Amino acid sequence: MAFMMLFSALLGGVIALALFVSLRPSPLQAESARAELPRDFVSVADTVRPVVVNINTEQEIRRQYYGFDMFNFDPFSDDWPPFRPYTRTQKISSLGSGVIISPEGFVLTNAHVIGGAQKISVTLQNGVSYPARLIRDSIGEDLAIVKINAGKPLPAARLGDADKVKVGSWAIAIGSPFGFEETVTVGVVSAKGRVVRQESGQQVFRDLIQTDAAINFGNSGGPLVSVDGEVIGINQAIFSPGGTGNIGIGFAIPIESKAKKAIFGTVEAATRGV
């Protein structure tokens, strides 16, 4: 009897060991599983970074003042008193991101990135900058298209369909936060259909994608990309109490069938010269 109990225990141990060995992933399998996900991110980054651009804008703002204009005061002039209305012109530069959507040099970005600019320049991945002209700044609520002439066909992004993207899917943001070009951050689609009001309360943006991929100032206009390398959104805004920067709540304008129709319709009309 004791022999049978011992034999049964040994037999059970052998079976358990065999199951453990057969079900446990081999070191090679485990290493492959760990490496598979980073390889996807690397592949997406290698594919998308060449189509992401840096957008610089310049704007002149004229302000009216009243007082002592020390820069134009002539103590020997008869033009007194020295206190009077005067105008100052201030140049403001801003930085954003964009994504090339056609080989002809059409670039998609946020309307607020280029809004009011007298001068727009686009810098490609190779560091070469080109002057850009505004094609349209009223696609949807905050999308715009500018065009550069690089003298050669450019790589272009593939636009996906945000309607098919599910909450929890991987999301990759690429852009130039604070001027650091080609920055890649990774997160997930945290929510869809978000409604966001501007801090000033003047404008409300609807149906936005929320993501926890790090988005900061300068990311605006850059793409939010799926693991398939398709652009599913254009990064637009962050929620940041006190303006402190990224806290894991960013928003992107979804690229879906309606948006794509408007985008490519604009490109086609501009190409035809309409």
* pLDDT tens, residue by residue, 113-130: 999 899 999 999 999 999
Residue 205 inside a domain? The answer is yes
Instruction: Provide the whole-model pTM.
Output: 0.78
pLDDT tens track for 157-174: 999 999 999 999 999 999
Output the domain CATH number for residue 245.
2.40.10.10
Q: Which of 132-136, 166-170, 197-201 has the lowest mean pLDDT?
A: 197-201
3-state secondary structure (DSSP) of residue 124 = coil
H or E element in which residue 260 lies: helix 257-272
User: How high is the mean pLDDT of the chain?
Assistant: 83
Cα separation of 215 and 177, whole Å? 7
Q: Is the pLDDT of residue 268 over 70?
A: yes
Q: Is 142 a residue of the active site?
A: yes
Q: Is 220 a residue of the active site?
A: yes
- Listed in sequence order, the residues at least 6 apart from 160 whose beta carbon sits closer than 8 Å to its beta carbon are 226, 228, 230, 231, 232, 255
Q: Which of 97, 102, 112, 190 is catalytic?
A: 112
Residue 197 inside a domain? The answer is yes
Cα separation of 254 and 257, whole Å? 10
Q: Is the pLDDT of residue 212 over 80?
A: yes
Top pLDDT among 224 and 83 is at 224
Q: Which of 94, 97, 102, 142 is catalytic?
A: 142
Tell me, what DSSP letter sits at residue 127? S
3-state secondary structure (DSSP) of residue 6 = helix
Cα separation of 195 and 7, whole Å? 68
Cα separation of 189 and 94, whole Å? 28
Domain that holds residue 203: 158-262
Q: Is 112 a residue of the active site?
A: yes
Q: What's the pLDDT score for residue 234?
A: 98
Q: What is the mean pLDDT of residues 245-266?
A: 94
Q: What's the pLDDT score for residue 165?
A: 96
- How far is the first Cα of the chain from the last one, in angstroms, to the nearest whole number? 96
Q: What is the mean pLDDT of residues 244-258?
A: 91
Residue 141 inside a domain? The answer is no
Residue 71 inside a domain? The answer is no
Cα separation of 17 and 2, whole Å? 23
User: Quick check: 72 and 83 in contact, CB under 8 A?
Assistant: no
Tell me, what DSSP letter sits at residue 150? -
pLDDT tens track for 27-51: 444 444 444 455 689 999 999 999 9
Q: What's the pLDDT score for residue 133?
A: 96
Residue 35 inside a domain? The answer is no
Residue 56: CA atoms inside 13 Å, Cβ hemisphere, count?
14
**How many domains are there within the chain?**
1
Q: What's the pLDDT score for residue 22?
A: 46
Q: What's the pLDDT score for residue 73?
A: 59
User: Quick check: 65 and 72 in contact, CB under 8 A?
Assistant: no
Q: What's the pLDDT score for residue 203?
A: 79
Residue 200 inside a domain? The answer is yes
Residue 13 inside a domain? The answer is no
Q: Which of 94, 176, 190, 220 is catalytic?
A: 220
Residue 202 inside a domain? The answer is yes
